[in-house]
Amino acid sequence: MINMVITAGGTIEDIDEVRKITNTSTGLLGTFLCDEAIMYMEQNEIIDYRIHYIASTTAIKPELDEEALNRVAFYDVTNTDSVLQVILDIFSKQKIDFFIHCMAVSDFTTKHLIPIHTIAEEISNKLHDAPKENWIELIEDIINNPKETINQEKKVSSKTDLILTLKKTSKIISILKEYNKDLFLVGFKLLKNVSEDELIEAASLLEEKDKCDLVLANDLQSIIEGNHIGLLIKNKEVIGRYEGKKNIAKAIIYQMLKGV
């Protein structure tokens, strides 16, 4: 039995009951990856496989025929934390062989909404009697753990300017091989308006740090301009250059599954 995970779309972090931090990712590349994986299995007459498709509620989903539907399990996620929970749950139930982490996971989650005047008052009050050498640390601490915040369970009303504190999320990709060192892991590196050398360097760094077996490197500029270009990186070398999401998906699936 071959078990594969595909993550797709962009995460959604709540600010309050109606406002969210979202990502422009549509999830389309994920649907092509799913289609190509199914096609590869069919062409190679492999029937004993399962695809675990983890996508945000807003992502485009693959359109599958009835036979394929029996082999694909869908998992709806919202914020970064929910993605992690679903992955750990899947890992606990079966050994995963292939993992394509295509999802645009938020680097940040929202923490507190604070009126600027309120936080300024709190900082001013706390610094009054504190030694100057502690000020920076004290200010950071107040911003991270403010006394008065706006209740994010309500729809935040809007009398004054606010600050929203954003807390770095833990990188999901970094822990995947800790749970399963035999995983074949495909990572994605998206930058904006950088030189190709910079992009390759950043992708190679990701490959090394998170022990990816393949990395797809792409520049947001090409996506915006409608000619999505992807470089496939393996052992810090470019092993292929592809134009268009379908070709990118086909190349990833071939490179990943060709030994199967």
Which of the residues 149 through 178 are near a second copy (CB under 8 A)?
A: 154-168
Which residue stretch of 85-93, 176-184, 186-194, 238-246 sits at the interface with a second copy (rule: CB under 8 A)? 186-194
Is 26 one of the binding residues for a second copy (CB under 8 A)? no
Query: Least distance from C-beta 161 to a second copy, angstroms?
Result: 5
Specify the residue, 50 or 171, whose C-beta has the smaller distance to a second copy: 171
Residue 201 to residue 205: CA distance in whole angstroms = 6
Q: How far is the CB of 216 from a second copy (least distance, A)?
A: 16
258 interacts with a second copy by CB under 8 A: no
Q: How far is the CB of 22 from a second copy (least distance, A)?
A: 5
CA–CA separation, 96 and 3 (whole Å): 5
The answer to whether residue 190 forms part of the interface with a second copy (CB under 8 A) is: yes
Cα→Cα distances 188→73, 217, 229, 242, Å = 22, 6, 13, 14
Residue with tokens 């999901």: 172
Answer yes or no whether residue 60 interacts with a second copy by CB under 8 A: no
Q: Convert 166-185 to b/e letters by CB count within 10 Å (16 or more is b).
A: eeebeebbeebbeeeeebbb
Q: Tell me 150's DSSP state.
A: -
Supply the minimum distance, in Å, between the C-beta of residue 204 and a second copy.
Answer: 16
DSSP string across 191-239:
ESS--HHHHHHHHHHHHHHTT-SEEEEEEHHHHHTT--EEEEEETTEEE
Point out which residues bind a second copy (CB under 8 A): 10, 15, 17-25, 104, 106-108, 113, 116-117, 119-121, 123-124, 127-128, 132, 135-137, 139-140, 143-144, 154-168, 190-193, 220
